[in-house]
Amino acid sequence: MTKGSAARLGVHSEVGTLKQVILHRPGRELARLTPSNKDGLLFDDVLWVEKAQEEHDEFAQLLRDRGVGVHLFRDLLAETLTNDEASEFVLNRILDDRQARLGASLSRIVGGYLRSLDPAERAEVLISGLNKIELGSNLGPRSLGLSVLSDHDFVLAPLPNHLFTRDTSCWVYDGVSINPMKKTARKRETVHYEAIYRWHPMFAGTSTDVQSYADDGFHIWFKGEAMAPATIEGGDVEVVGNGVVLIGLSERTTPAGVELLARDLFDKGSATKVIAVELPKGRAMMHLDTVMTQVNHDTFTLYAGLLPERLRSFVLTPNDDPKIPHVEKAPDFLQALADALEIEKVRIIQADQDAYAAEREQWDDGCNGLTISPDVVMTYERNRNTIGALEAAGVEVIPIRGNELGRGRGGARCMSCPIERDSA
């Protein structure tokens, strides 16, 4: 892959013309979801993988047809692992003796196996997982950890949530946040993105310092694992423009994570205001973009079952102490958002539907649209009421199939990580 220009990367709005995204095509990791392990892997159902791949291929092609450059995560990881330093970075972190389950002897066995693979095979195993029987008969030193496992027990669990590329890294103005994930099932994803952003030719080359990454090309707002246990996930982060970032305080994004992101954004002058809105804690509303997304500078979709006047929100701005943002409670969430965007009033699009239909469409990611240019939105075709409301408001809707993809509880926005997008 040709080396990219770090200086042109950045996401300067939610609604400006979308130029480049990272997607992850479903693979063997989803075939390893079962009724007995799906809950631990954060899925509500098992998917028909071939159909999910067909739907995802159509999604990717629709983006390409609109001029969006699509980069597939599996390819980025395999290309990154051709660099020996990057490969050792990943393996040393996921096989650290202190990591749960493995222990010293099993870590050595798994490390030997992974190092025996070529980069593409290594990337595949890191994503799709590794069980005991796949290690083969040449297991080297005895391992207590290995001895207690059954043949089909995972030594490395699959990572089916890589499908949702938005969460593990998200670009905010002229930098990227490499996010420590809240749930154990997703923590290894962060290490993969740390390696990609440091070593892949599309991103690397302006710095070799793992702490600063490519600061002269683009900033690293959150430096991955180093920032844990503060957590922040990209589904909660919306770059609404005018130097403002809207962040959901969800079950997966902590106040500490919001403050750390705000601090670094303010320090570099890349943002002037962060609005944090507190969400109900629960699976159906795991991230802000499951209930609210932006379709134009002044226009947002909002789940009808969520009353904005009942949402607590807080405005963070730069402080005299650069390490501690100033925090002020906002009396009215939507008015605080309008004031930050320097508009009189936020326009809200909601479908005219009963409470049952509203809850069903929120569960099916009706509000989780991907805006690819002002008033042009991609969303699951099944959310007919939401699509009708968008079209009635003058929004062009590009429907996508999601009969299988939608079982993962993530829509078009969740499944895409923009790395280049214009201002609104």
CA angle 57, 189, 26 (to 5 degrees): 20
Residue 372's Cα: distance from chain center in Å? 17
Helix axes 73-80, 187-199, angle to 10 degrees: 60
By the 8 A CB rule, do 82 and 61 touch? no
Which DSSP category does 7 fall into? Answer: G
Instruction: Tell me if residue 170 is catalytic.
Output: no
Distance CA 86, CA 123 (A): 12
C-beta atoms surrounding 347 within 10 Å: 14
Sign, CA torsion 98/99/101/103: negative
Spot the catalytic one: 170, 367, 414, 417: 414
CB 244 within 8 A of CB 310: no
Helices (H), 81-118: 84-94, 103-115
The sign of the torsion formed by the CA atoms of 259, 225, 18, 163 equals: negative
**Residues tagged active-site:** 414
